Amino acid sequence: MRIGAYSIILALVVVGSILVSCGGQTPSPAVPTATSRATEGLAALVNEQPITTVDYQKQVAQVEAFFEQEGLDPNTEEGRERLAQARRQVLEQMIDQELIRQAATEMGVNISEPELETNIEDIVEQSGGEEDFSEALQAMGTSYDDFRQMLLDQLLSEAVFAAVTESVPPVAEQVHARHILLPTRERAEEVLARLQGGEDFAFLAGQYSEDISTRERGGDMGFFPRGVMPPEVEDIAFSLDVGRTSGIVESQFGFHIVQVLEREEREIAVEIFENLRQQIFMQWLQEQRESANIERFIE
């Protein structure tokens, strides 16, 4: 069996479906209910729909196989901690996946049989062919039917993600701004006084800004739409006229002085656009969780 086949299936299905499909983030779960129901074969109930302990253990085993492939020693303290965290993430992701399935039904979103088969064929080809693909499934302890269901869930998640985020516009009003981030109000007042005295903004940003990602560019944050920067910085940036400099703006990161250079309608950068979509989707998913009846029977 080629190592590539094993890695491809793990990466595309186990990691993609279990650990990444919701942005790599797992909302904090509620306190689990009594675990006696676990002995009845239930890991959780989501709006009365069961997640069985059998299915839960299968996905845990696949994640553990991935970690083993990556060289993680389960007998070390780090290994035990990462595996324990992964098991919790597996259950939360399975809850999310069930919520997505239920929402997909309500939204009329589905994956057609031809689409699923085409994706399976692509993975088989990337794995090196039918023989390598089958050997990889066997090495993972995964049946073809289980693999097929995991891939279907992943595709369904992607389709729901697209439907939920389709309202995010690719073009929006943006400002081009720069800032100086200072650790204390006293330091910010000193720098603001120097700006008001005529000193160069870019020079002072390079000398004093705590934001290392923009400091070498004279504090330049580039163009950005709403929903990207800390709210306090965003509010002042979108309220200032071009060429104007703010007073001292406090955020959770410190004290900012903001200057607006340009303002225009323009296409949102790909990375920012995807971050905005991820934010919208995670907010939607959290709303699904808050409105659902979720019972957990696995600690």
* Each residue's pLDDT tens digit, 166-177: 999 999 999 999
Measured on CA atoms in the order 240, 244, 249, 252, is the torsion positive or negative? Answer: positive
Q: Provide the CATH number for the domain formed by 171-267 in this structure.
A: 3.10.50.40
Q: Where do we find the tokens 């992607």?
A: 158
The CATH number for 3-167+279-296, chosen from 1.10.4030.10, 2.40.30.10, 2.70.50.60, 1.10.3720.10, is 1.10.4030.10
The pairing of strands 294-296 and 254-267 is: unpaired
Question: Which residue has better confidence, 289 or 23?
Answer: 289
Q: Which pLDDT tens digit goes with each residue over 121-138? A: 998 888 888 888 888 888
pLDDT of residue 143 exceeding 90: no
The pairing of strands 49-52 and 42-46 is: antiparallel
pLDDT of residue 141 exceeding 90: no
Measured CA to CA, the distance from residue 161 to residue 295 in angstroms comes to: 24
pLDDT band at 248 (very low <50, low <70, confident <90, very high): very high
| All CATH 3.10.50.40 domain ranges in the chain, comma separated | 171-267
| All CATH 1.10.4030.10 domain ranges in the chain, comma separated | 3-167+279-296
Picking from 209, 144, 148, 149, the residue whose alpha carbon sits closest to that of residue 178 is: 209
Question: Which residue has better confidence, 55 or 37?
Answer: 55
Mean per-residue pLDDT for 151-177? 94
